[in-house]
Structure 1
Amino acid sequence: MISPFTPAIGLGNCHLQTIFSRFHRPEPWIHTQCQWLDTPDGDRLALHTPVQLVDDTTRPLVLILHGLEGSVESPYAQGLMQALLAQDFQVAVMHFRGCGGIPNLLPRAYHSGDSGDPRWLATQLRDRFPSTPLMAVGYSLGGNVLLKWLGEDGEGSPLTAAVSISAPLDLHLSSRRMNRGFSRVYQKHLLDSLRESLNRKALDPVLAKQMPPLNSPRIFSNFRHFDDHFTAPLHGFTGVDDYYTRASSRPLLRNIAKPTLLIHAVDDPFVCPTAVPAESDVSPQVTLAISQRGGHVGFIGGALWKPHYWLESVIPQYLQDHR
């Protein structure tokens, strides 16, 4: 039974829910070690762990997938690692390609439907720790990737349980939502971060020649323009509409065959309310935890002067129930 979410006194607004942790938890506090794994296509993935992983049937490994331009240092990743370690889970954070301030080795980057990388990483983890149950938690972009991965694999998924938070389930609708009202502030912040990451990669003259040119200001005017000019062609899509259709997880929710908790707030400033699924849209293995309020990866209860991070109690409890 999932306890209902009640916003903190003083943090009822969706934007306050969304940005509060950035000010309340400005610095990372969980130290991790990084291991680089060489991918079959000649690139590399970073895997961050607070302690050395071991093969243990009694201590599940939880793989955390961060959001757009996030990393192991994101406050939500730090908080969840702390909560999971306290309940004797093992934990690892996968950086999507090029995240964490270190450019990847290929022209391609990552995108909202990039289920191939966590799927490949899961096979590596299963080979190294064959007796250890594998679970996953995805935030925002990482949540959409996780749901898409679960829907694609069905009964064949290597995961024993999963949790998705604030996933942009329908990318068509999310791109429109992000281009309206105050959500454009978030859009600009994320696009500025993407611009910095890509400019850093473009310092490599070989990679720069293989990447779409980044010198037009229109590219970074909104997500739709960016994805049409950069994301889609660089990742094998015929255009932005093809990318948004094929990368959205919502059509695959009925195919999920492993216990999955889907957490979402109706007032999420990143996601159109009409994208929020109903019971009829998901498989019997999916538990919906839909709140009217909570913002985007917020869900902060308690009070402004004594906040309680609801996700950090609900997620470990759900995973405990499926150990």
Structure 2
Amino acid sequence: MAKAYLGTTPHINPFAHSTLFHKRSRLSSAGAMPPDQNPPRPHPSLEIVDGTRGSFLHALKTLVRPYTPFPFVAWNRHVETIFAAFFRSVPDVRLRRECLRTKDDGSVALDWVPGDDRRLSPESPLLILLPGLTGGSDDSYVRHMLLRAKSKGWRVVVFNSRGCGNSPVTTPQFYSASFLGDMHEVVAHVGARYPKANLYAVGWSLGANILVRYLGQESHTCPLSGAVSLCNPFNLVIADEDFHKGFNNVYDKALSSALCKIFKKHALLFEDIGGDFNIPMAAKAKTVRDFDEGLTRVSFGFKSVDDYYFNSSSSDSIKDVCRPLLCIQAANDPIAPSRGIPREDIKANPNCLLIVTPQGGHLGWVAGGEAPIGAPWTDTVVIEFLEHLEREASSKALSSSSNTGIVHHMEV
């Protein structure tokens, strides 16, 4: 699943290798928002594909400055990717875990910030974070985004998929790029808990692929008021092709090892599963593709791994997205290739905006004021986008409330 699974900050030792619709969104579509008459121009160091025709760009102040990667670290995409995975600071955050049992008897873990119900109002915006493959609440990029949103008065929850972030596995099924059932249940669950709040989501890599597929599937009835996709592999067939080239084999080996480690913790669940499963192959997988062949594609009813990758790609979902969506990619991402980005579909969708940085690696973006070991450059852009959406939503809600009051007064 490169693809499908690619996307967490892989825990690679760099020295080990010499080679539920609870309410309609208050936000209709990006096209409904009048663009600034004279928006500041993004810096030419950034590639911008703007289907929204300027509806969001004026709010993203960070984009007027050049993208300046940190010296030495960002000279090579692999160095930047590995540096971010190993040396980026991991903020100390206390989290309260909630285990959510799904309809098929599976389990996912939701990590909340304790005390938020005392500090925040029921109307405070709520942000769902979706980490990458094998990733969870402990990953540095997740924690930095959590703290950034929390500092702005947002309620935040991290969605740890089955087996990730020490989330329990209670059935013989993990998650995948194709499976949206857990996403539906998590959004419905948090939406029911905070019915007065606007819901948003941010996903990285595999989490981004799942998030964009969810947005496309839900389309006009999506309960989210906006979303952000980062380092999305988009086209999993293309991502798989590149994953077996050169130094990328190091990531492949590291991620397959992480998958095997999760699998072995829960191997007894799969002991008598039978059918087309190849459990020994999954248990000893040397590549992510092997793991997907032995377990993932069979679990989710695909005839082959290639069939699984082709039908699980979020690139095909962009045309159906009806909520504001910001996509941020790095041109030199070794795991989410630039050539797999659906630029034309993004350009044709009035709800979508794409930013491609010249460098950044995979989940790196070692640039900006907090580089080299602080938050990634993207965090500032993400929060600018989300706060803009929430201001627009609040303004519309206030306007709607005022109009209702006038009508009621006239009727009386």
TM-score interval, normalised by the smaller of the two chains: over 0.9
**Aligned equivalents of 1:218, 1:20: Cα separation in 2:** 29
* 2:212 is the alignment partner of 1:147: yes
Quote how far apart the aligned CAs of 1:15 are: 1.6
Please tell me whether Structure 1 or Structure 2 has the larger radius of gyration of its CA atoms: 2
* 2:81 is the alignment partner of 1:18: yes
Quote how far apart the aligned CAs of 1:320 are: 0.2
Amino acid at match of 1:224: R
**1:32 match:** 95
Quote how far apart the aligned CAs of 1:200 are: 0.8
**Aligned equivalents of 1:48, 1:152: Cα separation in 2:** 25
Please say if residues 108 and 168 of structure 2, whose CA atoms lie closer than 8 Å, have aligned partners that are also in contact.
no
So what's the TM-score if we normalise by structure 1?
0.92
**1:293 match:** 359
Quote how far apart the aligned CAs of 1:102 are: 4.3
SS in 2 for 1:215: helix
**Aligned equivalents of 1:63, 1:263: Cα separation in 2:** 17
Structure 1 residues 305, 18: CA separation in 2 closer, same or farther (over 3 Å shift)? closer
**2:109 match:** 46
Please say if residues 112 and 157 of structure 2, whose CA atoms lie closer than 8 Å, have aligned partners that are also in contact.
yes
SS in 2 for 1:233: helix
Answer with 40-49 or 111-120: which moved more: 111-120
1:196-252: CA deviation from partner (whole Å, max 9, x where unpaired) = 1101101x3x43222734434896232333212211001222221221122100011
Structure 1 residues 28, 307: CA separation in 2 closer, same or farther (over 3 Å shift)? closer
Answer with 25-34 or 246-255: which moved more: 25-34
**Aligned equivalents of 1:22, 1:278: Cα separation in 2:** 28
* 2:80 is the alignment partner of 1:80: no
Unaligned runs of 5+ in 1: none
Answer with 308-317 or 52-61: which moved more: 52-61
So what's the TM-score if we normalise by structure 2?
0.73
SS in 1 for 2:233: coil
| Aligned partner (choices 301, 314, 318) of residue 381 of structure 2 | 314
Please say if residues 219 and 229 of structure 1, whose CA atoms lie closer than 8 Å, have aligned partners that are also in contact.
no
Amino acid at match of 2:357: S
Where does 1:1-323 land on structure 2 (aligned, <5 Å)? 1=57, 2=60, 3-4=62-63, 5-12=67-74, 13-25=76-88, 27=90, 29-52=92-115, 54=117, 56=121, 58-202=123-267, 204=268, 206-210=269-273, 212-216=277-281, 220-282=285-347, 283-302=349-368, 309-323=376-390
Unaligned runs of 5+ in 2: 1-56, 391-412
**Aligned equivalents of 1:123, 1:321: Cα separation in 2:** 24
Answer with 143-152 or 107-116: which moved more: 107-116
**Aligned equivalents of 1:68, 1:153: Cα separation in 2:** 23
Identity of aligned residues (%): 29
The alignment of Structure 1 onto Structure 2 pairs a total of residues equal to 321
**Aligned equivalents of 2:175, 2:181: Cα separation in 1:** 10
Amino acid at match of 1:30: V
Quote how far apart the aligned CAs of 1:164 are: 0.5
Quote how far apart the aligned CAs of 1:21 are: 2.6
Structure 1 residues 128, 139: CA separation in 2 closer, same or farther (over 3 Å shift)? same
Please say if residues 217 and 317 of structure 2, whose CA atoms lie closer than 8 Å, have aligned partners that are also in contact.
yes
SS in 2 for 1:209: coil
**Aligned equivalents of 1:257, 1:164: Cα separation in 2:** 14
Quote how far apart the aligned CAs of 1:44 are: 1.4
